[in-house]
């Protein structure tokens, strides 16, 4: 979420109609529209890696993995999660989902505060949501908030495996950071290569 382009609050219907023809994506929060900023290479890799890992592990299940072009509706707000998974019938609306099981956001400078606070607190009200995940792109750190643990957060680092209990799948942190270029990843790979020698 970045810059507002409207000074006046708009309705859901106006927002949804304008998104169909907009050249860039926007999120709707408390009736105000915010333009989405472009993403870095690391941001794209982390989103793709996470979506690919989940999609592969969920083959043969009713779960569907979506990336940043699919909106989620939370009350009267609309967000574009970097990755989300929907496991129940949620096909009523073609351009947004209302019943995600997991929402994943890759943090960046412009969205960090919002993703960690207001967006997280809104999304945690979704009755179907089991986990809300925040992925750092400049360091190798992933924070997972779990409904089953009263939304307490847990941290995972390179060398760890994360079990996403809402989906029944486990993913290695190093697979999420595959091809990502930051100091933590480079140090982890260097240490791993030395151990292998």
Check residue 37 and give its pLDDT: 79
pLDDT in tens, 110-140: 889 999 999 999 999 999 999 999 999 999 9
Could you give the percent of the chain with pLDDT greater than 70?
96
Q: What is the rounded CA–CA span in Å between residue 54 and residue 48?
A: 10
Domains of the chain by start residue, with CATH: 39-196 (3.90.1570.10)
Residues 53-71: tens digit of each pLDDT: 999 999 999 999 999 999 9
The per-type count for the chain, helices as H runs and strands as E runs, is 6, 13
Distance CA 77, CA 132 (A): 17
- For the record, the structure tokens of 119 come out as 């967006």
């Amino acid at each position: 979420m970045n810059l507002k382009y409207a000074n006046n609050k708009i309705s859901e219907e106006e927002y949804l109609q304008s998104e169909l023809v907009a050249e860039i994506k926007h999120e709707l929060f408390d009736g105000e529209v915010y333009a989405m900023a472009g993403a870095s290479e690391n941001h794209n890799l982390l989103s793709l890696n996470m979506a690919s890992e989940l999609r592969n592990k969920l083959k043969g299940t009713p779960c569907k993995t979506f990336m940043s072009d699919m909106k989620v509706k939370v009350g009267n707000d609309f967000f574009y999660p970097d990755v989300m998974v929907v496991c129940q019938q949620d096909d009523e609306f073609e351009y947004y989902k209302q019943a995600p099981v997991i929402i994943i956001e890759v943090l960046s400078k412009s969205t960090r505060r919002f993703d960690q606070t207001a967006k997280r607190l809104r999304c945690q009200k979704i009755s179907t949501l089991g986990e809300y995940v925040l992925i750092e792109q400049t360091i190798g750190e992933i924070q997972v908030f779990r409904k089953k643990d009263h939304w307490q957060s847990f941290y995972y680092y390179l060398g760890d495996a994360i079990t996403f209990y809402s989906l029944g799948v486990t993913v290695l942190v190093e697979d999420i950071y595959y091809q990502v270029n930051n100091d933590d990843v480079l140090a982890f790979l260097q240490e791993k290569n030395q151990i292998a020698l």
